[in-house]
Amino acid sequence: MNIEFSDKDRAFQTEVRSWLESSWPIEMRDKQGKSAMGRLSKDDLVNWQKKLAKKGWAATNWPQEHGGAGFSAAENYIFDLERARVGAPGVVPFGITMVAPVIMKFGTEKQKSEFLPKILNSDIWFCQGYSEPGSGSDLASLGTLATSDGDFYVVNGVKTWTTMAQHADWIFCLVRTSKEEIPQKGISFVLIDMKTPGITVRPIQTLDQPPAGEQEINMVYFENVKVPKENLIGEEGKGWTCAKYLLEFERGNAYSPALKSAIRRLEVMNEELSRGQGFESSDLDSIGKRIDDLQVQILAMEYTELRILGAISSGQNVGPESSMLKTRGTELQQAVTELAVDLSAYAGMPFDQSSANDGDNYTPVFGSEHNGVTQDYFNTRKVSIYAGSNEIQRNIMSKLVLGL
């Protein structure tokens, strides 16, 4: 097993570091790094993604024939590592990382030529329509119905926990096109224009929402929404196959780069708070030991990722390791934010939504995506559930590794 980067990889790391230093806008760094009051806007993220696309680095998981970066597994990891180091965001995943590979795999040539260039350049944004009220981890029980009507489907139902639906131009959706005895067989994968009459987006207010800031997640209602059948991806009734394929990309993240950046922020917080918060020495010792313990666990996570990276680079399949990474990575995300709340004590209390002031909270643990220590804590409660809950991942591992 070789977990060392090659000279070529090191040269690429230098190139990425140099490009980020010159291209990651200072105004965006200031916005996400100095204020706990707001997230990067859609315009901020679109502008950044267009810069990545111009450089050829937006679609790191795409083949070059479709405009992808053509990164090796090692280069992909290095790119994530360097972005996390400076706090630069990646791409919003729903289009480039999630639905685009499904279109490449199962879509028609017309669908590929219509959607892939627009997704790559952030000219259109997607959101994900999977979960429903009462149908989350048991996704096969979904009830949003698509009834055939000539050249159209007429869609009725509700999707929930839909991230960024208020900004999305399109939604990729699992719908029920038939009521089979085996529920997975009656599910289809369709693309729906969010401007279609009959679609209503309503916000879900969450505890991690900043004051005077917009929500992240939504309910999406479909009432007699007419969807052209040409927007069906793959075969009718084979949407479950598309959904499983997509989840491979949703779970296949490297967690250690962001975790290492987060733990560095905790060390800075510990130093600052120890000078001004009046902690007892025993408290500081306890916090320091917990930081050290997390650093060891994150290092173990990093070496596991590098081991898997070495296997991928030599042409081996990942297999159940993607479930292992998802489970352990999300557990460590939660552990880091729990420690941050303990570390900041009363200074980490949530914003008073009625009278918010700049400086009410500390710098976010994970950077621009969240809005303060406690907001990070609340937000990361979800990470052990999405992309297949950790309980489901353990079932997968027990079946594929232990044969249980």
Show the beta-strand stretches assigned E in 1-138.
Answer: 126-129
pLDDT value for 186 = 92
The pLDDT value given to residue 244: 82
- Longest Cα–Cα distance in the chain: 73
Q: What is the pLDDT of residue 117?
A: 95
- Over its length of 404 residues, how does the chain's per-residue pLDDT go in tens digits? 445 778 898 999 999 999 999 998 888 877 765 433 346 788 888 999 999 999 999 998 788 899 999 888 788 888 988 888 887 888 888 999 899 999 999 999 999 999 999 999 999 999 999 999 987 667 888 999 999 999 999 999 999 989 899 999 999 999 999 987 788 889 999 999 999 999 999 998 877 665 545 678 899 999 999 999 999 999 999 999 998 888 766 555 667 777 777 777 677 666 666 665 545 555 666 777 888 888 888 888 888 877 777 666 666 656 677 778 888 888 888 888 888 888 776 656 555 444 445 554 444 444 433 346 777 788 788 777 776 677 777 887 787 777 76
For domain 248-400, the CATH architecture is Up-down Bundle (1.20)
* CATH 1.20.140.10-classified regions of the chain: 248-400
Write the DSSP assignment of 328-390 as a string of letters: HHHHHHHHHHHHHHHHHGGGGPPP-TTS--TTSSPPPSSGGGS-SHHHHHHHGGGTTTTTS-H
pLDDT, residue 386, reads 74
Tokens of 138: 């048991």
Q: What is the pLDDT of residue 306?
A: 77
Which CATH architecture is the domain 125-242 placed in? Beta Barrel (2.40)
268's enclosing H/E stretch is helix 256-276
CB burial of 174-190 (b: ≥16 within 10 Å; e: otherwise) equals bbbbeeeeebeebbbbb
Superfamily of domain 7-99 in CATH is: Acyl-CoA dehydrogenase/oxidase, N-terminal domain (1.10.540.10)
Q: Report in angstroms the alpha-carbon separations of 21 from 9, 14, 83, 265, 276.
A: 18, 11, 10, 20, 33
Identify which of 239, 178, 232, 170 has the alpha carbon closest to the alpha carbon of residue 201: 170
Q: What tokens appear for 127 in the block?
A: 């959101």
Angstrom distance (rounded) from CA 131 to CA 100: 19
Q: What is d(CA 331, CA 327) in angstroms, rounded to the nearest whole number?
A: 6
Q: Where do you find CATH 2.40.110.10 in the chain?
A: 125-242
What does the chain come to in residues?
404
Domain with CATH 1.10.540.10 in the chain: 7-99
pLDDT for position 368: 35
The reported pLDDT for the residue numbered 51 is 93
Residue 383 makes CB contacts below 8 A (sequence gap 6+) with 330, 333, 334
Query: Tell me, what's the pLDDT at 6?
Result: 85
